[in-house]
Structures are given as structure tokens and as C-alpha cells.
Chain A
Amino acid sequence: MAKEYKIALAGEGGQGVQSVAGILVEAANDNGREALYIPNFGVEQRGGVSIAFVQIADEKIGSPKFKKADIVIALSDRSVRRTAQYVDERTTFVYDSAIEGIEEELPKNAAKVYAIPAIDVAKNELHPRVFNIIIMGAVIEATKVITLESAKEAIEKKLGYKFDQDPKLRELNFRALEKGAELVRQFNK
């Protein structure tokens, strides 16, 4: 846990990478850790790839953006191309296995490359609306920056008012979180 983690999350608008980042840093902060989150917010954000830059550490964090990430999550073909620049030989690169036509463009210098079927699981096993929570589970498993339990607390804090109306939603979100972690765990064995 002492390690400082640099995480780049990239996806299309609507895939929820910024909200994943938001919940993640909130949870880390609640656990007394130092977190820094900056979205890319250029003109690019309208119709472009959305990237969240997240850093979590035990001490105050340096510059808000970074050149190379410990973990990169890319959720669309454009995101795979756009995030290649954040990858070096220490990076774990995670992308969705449903993205087509990018085999040649996957970073060759990454320490590890994981293809996870998050889009498929969301669509066929759970619900498309919890896709970003699956991704959050995957990030947590890959980095261990927080525990799944504190992630659940953070989700509860953010969505609790919805869960109160429909308790099934809570279960769905928590399952999505576990599932996301599981998708990465099989690689981490």
C-alpha cells in the first residue's frame, strides 16, 4: 500500500471514467490517504476521449499530471490509441476485450497487458449502467489503492439515496464491483 499509484482512465463520453475516478479518490481520501485527481478538460472533452488522471499515495503528491502511469485503463479504440503515450515498461495496460481492430495498436512496451470482458459482462451478466463500477473493481484489484470494502462505502455515499429507493441496485453495484475485481484477479494469480 505504500507505493504511489498513478492511474490513467480513458474512455468515451458516457462510459463514466470521470465518475469512477471521482469515487476512487473520494474513497482514498476517506481512508486518510493522499489523492489527486484531475480530468482532462480541454476543448477536447466535447466529443473527444475523456481521460482521468488519478494519483494515490501516502504522502503529498507532486505534479497533477504525469508522463507514465502504473496502470492505464482504456475502454474504447480511440482510448487505446490515445493512452499509448502513458505506457512504459512498468505499466499494466488494461483494455476491454470487446474493442475491435486494435490488436496491432496495443502497447508493446507494457509490463502486462490484460484484456477484460467488462463491456460483455455488463451487457450480458449484470446491467450496462454498472459498467463503470465493473471498471472501478478492476482498477482496485490491479492497484490495491483501496479495499473493496471502502469502495463500497464510497459508492454507498454517492448512490445511497438511489439504493434506498431500490435496494436491488445496491446489490447490483456491489456485484459489479466484485466482478470487476475478479476479471483482473485471474491475471494477477
Chain B
Amino acid sequence: MADKPIKGEKRFFVTGNEVVAWAALAAGVDIMYGYPITPQNEVMHYWTRLAPKYGRKFLQTEDEISAGFTTCGGVFSGARAFTATAGPGNTLMQEPMSMAEMMRIPAVFVITQRGGPSTATVIYSQQEVTLTCFGGNGEGMRVVYSPGSHQELYDYTIKAFNTAWKYRFPTFVLGDGYQAKMRESLIMYDPEERGIQMEPTEMIVGKEGTPGVDREPAHLRNTYNTEEELNVVVNELVDAFWKAAPEIVEHQEFNCEDADIVIVAHGVVTRAAQAAVKELRAQGKKVGHFRPITLRPYPIEAMKTAIAKAKEIILVESAEGQLDKIVKAELYGSQIPITPYFRPGMGITAEEIIEFINKKG
């Protein structure tokens, strides 16, 4: 059996789905549970080829509901476990995801957003932001990372397992079909060699000893009898989430200090936004870019600082205002105008952003 999947620093030129499989291996994932859906499939394809060489496991389930619940089961048993899905599969998986939220199951979910609503396209969108951040009958007590490159897909997939196990909230890597299917270069590494300690996992059930004799049994509840009883539980959940939030939030900003216009975009669209800022600055325009890396919890304090001097936000996303809703709720009370540039289910290029801003004058 080969030992470490990645030794030293290695340049790879692969698809995003392959990146996820390698990152999960490098993160020490024990088992993946999954069900086929485009554009996520190759995560499973690569995992099933690589995993047995490193003594890791895979189970193909009957649907995404089962993929999500088996993942929760794996995590309960103390395994570092994950699943991946998209679109209609993400919809089905909200049920186990909401259980993970309620029971604080540190499961990791990789989402490769495709077009919506419904089956729509298998290609690309940013239309699963609301669903991933706030889906299910819950309160959005989830951590959602939105990477924008293969390097980040690798870095944040590894990080997702640590965040999940450290804070005990379900953690999401919100990619998209472009990132899933495109090939570009990145550096893969062994986390430990980079000084990243993998957060230890813990058996939530199945610990040593006879329950009731050597230890208390783990009686994990998901159902409560009274409003008061539930309210206490949810309050604890919410408090824990917001206590952890300042340690979890991440963002990036580009030329925001003196910007009149700040472009807000996330995920793969940040690439177009960054390129647009470079070009517009070269044209002498005071444009900056703020990019939330965590969509949940949202890096609102950093954003408020970034837009402090700005006269306008241009909100750019491949959806009809899903990031926009989050931003508006977070910015409540601010007077800054927000101009939408929404392209639901379509890619956005730097040229389009530049043209849009230049036309505004």
C-alpha cells in the first residue's frame, strides 16, 4: 500500500474534479459516498481509481438522499467522510444536510453548481448559493467556501475537513461546472509538509467500552418534544456558529482602498472581476474588487471596510441575485447603491464587466 498520496510540492495540470479527489486523499479522507450527477461525476471517477491504492473506501448509493445520509453515518463512526453533488442532487441532499446542521455532523459536501432551476443545464451557474447556504428547514448554520481556481479548490477542500471537524458544522466547497471540468495548473502538496495539521476526527458513536457501564451511551437526538426544548438546542447551535464565525470568515480584496466602484463577485467570477480591475485601473478608473471566500458566514466586517469610501457596488454573479440577497441583508442600513450585473446560468468574462462599467460612464 502506498503511503502518502502526495509527497513534496507537485505541479499538476488536471480538471477540478480530479483536484477534489486528490485533495480529499491528501486530507486523509477515509471514505466517499456518492451518486452520479453531472458535472460532479469525475470526482467519483478519480476517487474510485485512487482510493483503493491508499486503503480508502467508496460507496455508490441509490440516490443523493442516501449519499448524504451515508456520509453522515460515516462521520458518526469517526471517519473523515465526504460526498459531492450538484443541481437537482443538491436539492435532494438538503435533507441530510439539514440533519448535519441540526446534529452538528462534520460532514463535507462538494457542490459543483450547474444551471437551474430544476434540471436546466449540466454546464455551469452560481445558482446554488441560496440552496447551499440556507437550504433545508434550518437556519443556515453551515460553512460555505467559494473557491475560484484549481489551487483554491485544492486548498479549500483540505481546509473544509479541518473546519468541519474543528467547529462541528457541515462544511461545503461550492464549486461550479467550469471549475469541475476545466484543466489548469496547480501545486498539490501534503498538508502536513506545509505545516497544516489535520484536525483529528472523533468517533461520535462506537467508542470503546460498554455503554451504561464504562461510559454513557451516545444518544443522539434529532427530534424534540417541546418548543422550549428545541429553542434551547437551536440557540446553542446559533451561538456556537456566530462564536466561530470570526475565525472562519475569509475574503480577498483588490484595489479597494481608493475605489469609487467596488465589484463584488465570488467563485470563478472573481477571475473576471480581478482581470477587469487590472484593465480598468490601467484606463485610469478607480475600480476595486471585493471577493467573499466564505459565503457563509459572510465576511461582512471586511466588506464594510473595503467599501467605506466607495460610491457604488457592482454586484456580478452568474445567478439572478443570490449573492446579492446575502450582501443586501448583511449591508442593511448602508446607503451605498448596488448595481446588479446578473447572468443566471452563464459565464461572465472580464471584457463584459469592463464594457458594463465603461458604458455607465
Residues of A within 8 A of B (CB): 22, 25-26, 29, 34-43, 60-68
Q: Are B352 and A67 in contact (CB under 8 A)?
A: yes
A-facing residues in B111-164 (Cβ within 8 Å)? 121-123, 149
Residues of chain A lying within 8 A (CB to CB) of residue B123: 40-42
> Of residues A60, A61, A64, A67, which shows the largest number of chain B Cβ atoms within 10 Å of its Cβ?
A64
| B contacts with A, residue count (CB < 8 A) | 28
Bound Cα distance A20, B361 (Å): 42
Of the candidates B13, B38, B185, B272, the one whose C-beta lies within 8 Å of that of A62 is: B272
If A26-B13, A41-B39, A41-B122 touch, whether A63 touches B348 (CB-CB below 8 Å) is yes
Contact of A35 with B184 in the complex, beta carbons under 8 Å:
yes
Across the two chains, which residue of chain B brings its CB closest to A21? Answer: B183
Q: Is the CB of B349 within 8 A of A67?
A: yes
Which A residues are CB-close (under 8 A) to B274?
62
Q: Is the CB of B349 within 8 A of A25?
A: no
Q: Once the chains bind, are B347 and A62 in contact (CB under 8 Å)?
A: no
Write the nearest CB–CB distance from B313 to chain A, whole angstroms.
20
Cross-chain contact B350 with A42 (CB below 8 angstroms): no
Q: What is the bound-complex CA distance between A37 and B187, given in angstroms? A: 17
Decide if B181 touches A62 in the complex (CB within 8 Å).
Answer: no
Q: Supply 8 further A-B pairs (C-beta < 8 A) apart from A26-B13, A43-B122, A66-B351.
A: A29-B13, A36-B184, A39-B181, A63-B269, A64-B178, A64-B182, A65-B349, A67-B349
**B271 close to A (CB within 8 Å):** yes
Q: Report the minimum CB–CB distance from A158 to chain B (whole Å).
A: 13
Top 6 A-B residue pairs of the complex, sorted by shortest distance between their CB atoms:
A38-B182, A62-B275, A29-B13, A63-B272, A36-B184, A64-B178
Question: Does B108 lie at the interface of the complex (its beta carbon under 8 Å from any beta carbon of A)?
Answer: no
Known: A41-B122, A42-B121. A63 touches B184 (CB 8 A): no
Number of A-B contacts (CB under 8 A): 69
- Chain A contacts of B348 at CB under 8 A? 63
Q: For B184, what are the chain A residues with a Cβ–Cβ distance below 8 Å?
A: 34-37, 61
| A63 partner residues in chain B, CB cutoff 8 A | 268-269, 271-272, 275, 347-350
B178–A65 CB distance below 8 A: yes
Flag if A65 contacts B185 (CB, 8 Å): no
Distance from A43 Cβ to chain B, minimum over Cβ atoms (Å): 7
CB distance from B195 to the nearest CB of A (A): 24
B272 touches A38 (CB 8 A): no
CB distance from B53 to the nearest CB of A (A): 22
Partner of B182 from A26, A37, A43, A66 at Cβ < 8 Å? A37
Verify A41–B181 contact, CB threshold 8 A: yes
- Nearest-Cβ distance from residue A173 to partner chain B, whole angstroms: 21
CB contacts (< 8 Å) of B350 on chain A: these are 62-63
Interface residues of B in 98-113 (CB under 8 A from A): none
Query: Is B122 a contact partner of A62 (Cβ separation < 8 A)?
Result: no
Tell whether, in the assembled complex, residue A64 and residue B347 are in contact, meaning their CB atoms are under 8 Å apart: yes
